[in-house]
C-alpha cells in the first residue's frame, strides 16, 4: 500500500509514514476479528432490522441484481440480499471474521450466489470490471463519522457502482440538541456530596472537569432534551465525496422549548434507505426506511454521544474532542433487552476534550490527536446554583461544531465544540432559532421554496 497523503483542510499536506498508516489499519481490522462485536451488532435489532426492512421492502432494487456488501462481517446483510433475489452478492470483508461467510452462505443455500472477497475493498477487482447495481454497507460509527469506514464505501461506490446504481443507506444525518443530564449528574457528580458520612463535595468540580474531558456514550432520555433537535449535517451517500467528510464546521442556534438545566449537548445520527421509485404512470413503489439512533427511538448500540458542558466562563471555552478506539470494552451496558457494548461497535471509545490553547494536532506517529487535560488548581465545591445553568423557554443557545479527520489516522476525528453567544455571534441563514429576525428570514425562504415548487409542478 502506498503511503497515505492526507490533505489537511487548514493548509499543510502531511505525508504519513507507511508503517503508521498500516498499523492503524491492522489494529482496526483486528478489532473486528472478535466475534462478540459481531454478535452485538447483529443482535442490535433496530440496526439489523432496518437493513432487513430496507432490503425486503425494496425487492425491485435487489431481485436479479448484482450487489455488493462492503464490510460484510458475518455475512448477515449479504444473506438478506441473496434472500431478496440478488443474482450475485459480492461480500467483501477484510478482517478475520471473513472466513465464516462462505460456509454461512452455503449453509443457507446461497453458496453460488454469495461470492466472498476476504480482503479490503480497496484491494479487490471484480471479474471483467463488472459494475454492481447496489452497494449496501453498515459503516456508521459514533456521531456517524467516527471509524471513517465511509471512506471505504465512497471508494467502493466510485470504483464498482453502475452509473444508475443505488447506495444503501442513501442519506445520513447528524443531529444535535441541548440537554439536561439528570442521571449522569446524580450518579457521577452529586454522588460526591456525601460519601460514607463524609462531605466530599470538593470532588464534584474535579469530577465535572474530568467528565468534560470524556464525552459520554450514553442513553439520553427524551425528557432530558431541552429543544427541538436540529440536523447539523446531511450527507447524500450517492454523491458525498471524501473531501466532504474530511472537514466540516456548522454553526447552530436553537430556542429552548423546555426550561431546565443546560448541562450537555447530545448528538446522534439517522440513516435513510430510500427505495422509492415511480412507474411509467407516475405511481410510486418501494419504501423509505429510517434507522434512527435518537433518544426518541428504541436504543441501539450506538446510544447517543453527550458533550458535558462546563459553567460560567468554562462554557465559553472552545473544547476539542478527539477519540481513540483502541481500548477494550470492559463494561456491558444495558439497552432494552440486549446487553451491548460501550461504543460504536463495542470497542470502548474514549473521547477527550482539551482546551483551545493546547496542542490539537496528532504528533506524527502517535495513535491519537489529543492532549490529556487534567484539571489543575484547587477544586472548590460547586454550588447548587452554578450546577444549574438554567435555561428558560425561548431562550436562544448556540454552538459551533467542527469535525476534522485526523491527519495520521483517518479513522479518527477531532471534534471541536464551541459554545456561542447568541447576542454577539452571527446566526446562519436560515437559522432554527426563535429570534424575530431569524423567524422572518426562515418564513421568507419557506415561502420562496413553496412558490418555486408550485411553479415547477405547474
Instruction: Please say which residue, 141 or 264, places its beta carbon nearer to ligand SAM.
Output: 141
3-class DSSP state of 390 = strand
Closest-CA residue to 315 (of 375, 355, 374, 359): 355
Query: What's the min distance (Å) between Cβ of 323 and ligand SAM?
Result: 16
3-class DSSP state of 111 = coil
Query: What's the min distance (Å) between Cβ of 356 and ligand SAM?
Result: 33
209's contact among Zn ion, ligand SAM, none, with CB below 5 to 8 A by partner kind, is: none
Query: What's the min distance (Å) between Cβ of 152 and ligand SAM?
Result: 3
| The C-alpha cell that represents 126 in the structure block | 471484480
Residue 409 near ligand SAM by CB under 6 A: no
| The C-alpha cell that represents 26 in the structure block | 491492522
Residue with cell 444508475: 164
Residue with cell 459520554: 216
The DSSP secondary structure of 274-306, one letter per residue, reads E--EE-TTS-EES-EEEEE-STTS---TT-EEE
Instruction: Please say which residue, 77 or 417, places its beta carbon nearer to ligand SAM.
Output: 77
**Residue 425 a catalytic site member:** no
DSSP 224: G
- For the segment 214-253, give every residue that binds Zn ion (CB under 5 A): 253
Instruction: Please say which residue, 117 or 399, places its beta carbon nearer to ligand SAM.
Output: 117
Query: What's the min distance (Å) between Cβ of 437 and Zn ion?
Result: 7
Q: In 418-446, which positions are buried (b, 16+ CB within 10 angstroms) versus exposed (e)?
A: bbbebeeeebbeebbbbbeebeebbeeee
Which positions ≥6 away from 334 have C-beta within 8 Å? none
Question: Exactly one of 4, 147, 270, 368 is catalytic; which is it?
Answer: 147
Residues facing residue 400 across a β-bridge: 251, 418
| The C-alpha cell that represents 158 in the structure block | 466510485
427's contact among ligand SAM, Zn ion, none, with CB below 5 to 8 A by partner kind, is: Zn ion
Residue with cell 468554562: 314
Instruction: Please say which residue, 29 or 311, places its beta carbon nearer to ligand SAM.
Output: 29
Instruction: Please say which residue, 57 or 188, places its beta carbon nearer to ligand SAM.
Output: 57
Residues facing residue 109 across a β-bridge: none
- For the segment 410-429, give every residue that binds Zn ion (CB under 5 A): 427
Characterize the bridge pairing of strands 132-137 and 161-168.
Answer: parallel
Query: What's the min distance (Å) between Cβ of 11 and ligand SAM?
Result: 28
136's contact among Zn ion, ligand SAM, none, with CB below 5 to 8 A by partner kind, is: none
Q: What track of x and - describes contact with Zn ion for positions 185 through 204 (by CB under 5 A)? A: --------------------
- For the segment 119-148, give every residue that binds ligand SAM (CB under 6 A): 120-122, 138
User: What is the C-alpha end-to-end distance of the chain, expressed in Å?
Assistant: 55
CA 352 → CA 162, 202, 436, 439, 454, distances in Å?
A: 41, 23, 37, 36, 49
Question: Exactly one of 15, 27, 106, 138 is catalytic; which is it?
Answer: 138
CA 1 → CA 18, 95, 362, distances in Å?
A: 8, 17, 22
**Residue 138 a catalytic site member:** yes
Residue 72 near ligand SAM by CB under 6 A: yes
DSSP 128: G
Near ligand SAM by CB under 6 A, which window of 38-46, 250-258, 357-365, 381-389? Answer: 38-46
The DSSP secondary structure of 317-330, one letter per residue, reads SEEEEEEEEEE---
Select the residue interacting with ligand SAM from 8, 29, 244, 250 (CB under 6 A).
Answer: 29
Instruction: Please say which residue, 220 or 433, places its beta carbon nearer to Zn ion.
Output: 433
Residue 165 near ligand SAM by CB under 6 A: no
Instruction: Please say which residue, 123 or 359, places its beta carbon nearer to ligand SAM.
Output: 123
The DSSP secondary structure of 172-200, one letter per residue, reads EEEEEEEE--HHHIIIIIGGGGEETTEE-
- For the segment 92-121, give every residue that binds ligand SAM (CB under 6 A): 92-95, 97, 120-121
Residue sitting closest to ligand SAM (CB) = 71
DSSP 407: S
Contact by Cβ (8 Å): 237, 229 = no
Q: What track of x and - describes contact with Zn ion for positions 372 through 411 (by CB under 5 A)? A: ----------------------------------------
Select the residue interacting with ligand SAM from 67, 76, 135, 179 (CB under 6 A).
Answer: 76
433's contact among Zn ion, ligand SAM, none, with CB below 5 to 8 A by partner kind, is: Zn ion
- For the segment 312-351, give every residue that binds ligand SAM (CB under 6 A): 345
145's contact among Zn ion, ligand SAM, none, with CB below 5 to 8 A by partner kind, is: none
In total, the chain counts a number of residues equal to: 458
Positions marked catalytic: 138, 147
Which parts of this chain interact with Zn ion (CB under 5 A)?
A: 253, 427, 431, 433, 435, 438
Which parts of this chain interact with ligand SAM (CB under 6 A)?
A: 29, 32, 38, 41-42, 71-73, 76-77, 92-95, 97, 120-122, 138, 149, 152, 345
Amino acid at each position: 500500500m502506498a503511503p497515505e497523503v492526507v490533505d489537511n483542510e487548514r493548509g499543510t499536506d502531511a505525508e504519513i509514514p507507511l508503517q503508521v498508516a498500516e498499523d492503524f489499519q491492522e489494529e482496526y481490522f483486528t478489532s473486528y476479528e472478535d466475534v462478540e462485536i459481531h454478535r452485538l451488532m447483529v443482535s442490535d435489532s433496530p440496526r439489523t432490522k432496518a437493513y432487513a426492512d430496507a432490503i425486503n421492502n425494496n425487492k425491485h432494487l435487489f431481485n436479479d441484481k448484482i450487489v455488493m456488501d462492503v464490510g460484510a462481517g458475518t455475512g448477515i446483510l449479504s444473506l438478506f440480499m441473496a434472500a431478496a433475489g440478488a443474482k450475485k452478492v459480492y461480500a467483501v470483508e477484510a478482517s478475520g471474521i471473513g472466513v465464516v461467510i462462505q460456509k454461512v452462505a452455503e449453509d443457507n443455500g446461497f453458496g453460488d450466489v454469495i461470492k466472498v472477497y476476504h480482503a479490503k475493498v480497496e484491494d479487490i477487482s471484480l471479474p471483467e470490471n463488472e459494475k454492481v447495481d447496489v452497494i449496501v454497507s453498515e459503516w456508521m460509527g459514533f456521531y456517524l463519522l467516527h471509524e471513517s469506514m465511509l471512506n471505504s464505501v465512497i471508494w467502493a461506490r466510485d470504483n464498482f457502482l453502475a452509473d444508475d446504481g443505488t447506495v444503501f443507506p442513501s442519506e445520513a444525518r447528524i443531529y444535535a440538541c441541548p440537554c439536561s443530564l439528570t442521571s449522569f449528574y446524580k450518579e457521577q457528580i452529586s454522588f460526591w456530596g456525601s460519601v460514607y458520612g463524609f462531605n466530599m463535595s470538593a470532588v464534584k468540580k474535579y469530577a465535572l472537569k474530568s467528565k468534560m474531558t470524556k464525552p459520554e456514550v450514553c442513553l439520553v432520555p427524551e425528557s432530558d432534551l431541552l429543544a427541538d433537535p436540529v440536523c447539523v449535517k446531511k450527507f447524500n451517500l450517492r454523491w458525498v465525496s471524501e473531501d466532504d467528510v474530511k472537514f466540516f464546521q456548522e454553526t447552530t442556534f436553537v430556542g429552548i422549548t423546555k426550561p431546565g438545566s443546560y448541562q450537555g449537548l447530545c448528538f446522534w445520527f439517522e440513516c435513510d434507505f430510500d427505495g422509492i421509485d415511480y412507474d411509467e404512470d407516475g405511481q410510486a413503489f418501494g419504501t423509505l426506511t429510517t434507522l434512527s439512533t435518537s433518544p426518541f427511538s428504541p436504543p441501539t448500540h450506538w446510544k447517543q454521544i453527550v458533550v458535558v458542558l462546563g459553567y460560567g466562563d468554562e462554557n465559553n471555552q472552545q473544547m476539542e474532542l478527539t477519540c481513540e478506539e483502541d481500548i477494550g470494552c470492559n463494561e456491558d451496558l444495558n439497552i432494552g433487552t440486549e446487553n451491548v457494548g460501550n461504543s460504536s461497535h463495542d470497542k470502548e471509545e474514549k473521547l477527550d476534550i482539551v482546551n483551545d490553547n493546547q496542542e490539537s494536532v496528532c504528533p506524527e506517529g502517535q495513535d491519537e490527536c489529543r492532549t490529556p487535560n487534567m484539571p489543575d488548581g484547587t477544586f472548590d465545591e460547586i454550588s447548587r446554583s452554578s450546577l444549574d445553568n438554567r435555561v428558560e423557554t425561548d431562550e436562544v443557545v448556540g454552538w459551533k461544531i467542527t469535525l476534522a479527520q485526523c491527519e495520521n489516522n483517518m479513522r479518527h476525528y477531532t471534534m471541536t465544540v464551541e459554545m456561542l453567544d447568541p447576542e454577539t455571534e452571527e446566526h446562519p441563514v436560515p437559522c432554527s432559532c426563535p429570534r424575530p429576525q431569524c423567524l422572518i428570514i426562515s418564513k421568507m425562504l419557506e415561502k420562496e421554496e413553496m412558490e418555486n415548487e408550485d411553479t415547477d409542478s405547474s
